[in-house]
Amino acid sequence: MSAVMQVKGRIDISDQVVRETQDIPALKGAVLAMKTADGATVNLPRDVQEMLLHALESVARHGEVSIGQTPAELTSTVAADMLGISRPTLMKWVRDKKISSFAVGTHTRFSRDEVLKVKKLRAKERRAAFDELLALDAENEEFLDN
């Protein structure tokens, strides 16, 4: 019996595959390439590599992964969920022109690509703020209680 079974677009993985995934050293920062049947190496696009690495990391951590494409047009509720903010905050961002939206009848909609761009920007800003906090902590280590 195979450790991986595919039925109608669903791939079921065995405990063995989960363990093998957990044994892969240093997924973070890895570079993935594909080897064809004739032995040629094909470099995968960066976004494809990121998706596959996230999938492997999810299998290693949680024993499962779900992959799907988000619709091109999002409701305000879905966009807010993706950004990790409340819907009222999202609508405030629209008023403040922090994110663009468009109307479909009386409803506000968001472009998936725009939401993903804002999500990536926010993650970058959070990381920069965290790095700044770490640097400040290191500078003032002598003043901190142990």
Its CATH architecture, for the domain 73-139, is Orthogonal Bundle (1.10)
Cα dihedral across residues 64, 117, 111, 113: positive or negative: negative
Cβ(110)–Cβ(79) below 8 Å: yes
Domain spans of the chain?
A: 4-62, 73-139
- Over residues 67-114, the pLDDT tens digits come to 888 999 999 999 999 999 999 999 999 999 999 999 999 999 999 999
Which bin fits 108, alpha (ψ -120 to 50), beta or left (φ > 0)? beta
- Over residues 20-35, the pLDDT tens digits come to 988 888 777 788 899 9
Residue 78 pLDDT: 97
> Cα-Cα-Cα-Cα dihedral of 23, 59, 69, 40, to 10°?
20
Can you give the pTM of this predicted structure?
0.63
Question: What's at 9, amino acid-wise?
Answer: G
The fraction of the chain above a pLDDT of 90, given in percent, is 59
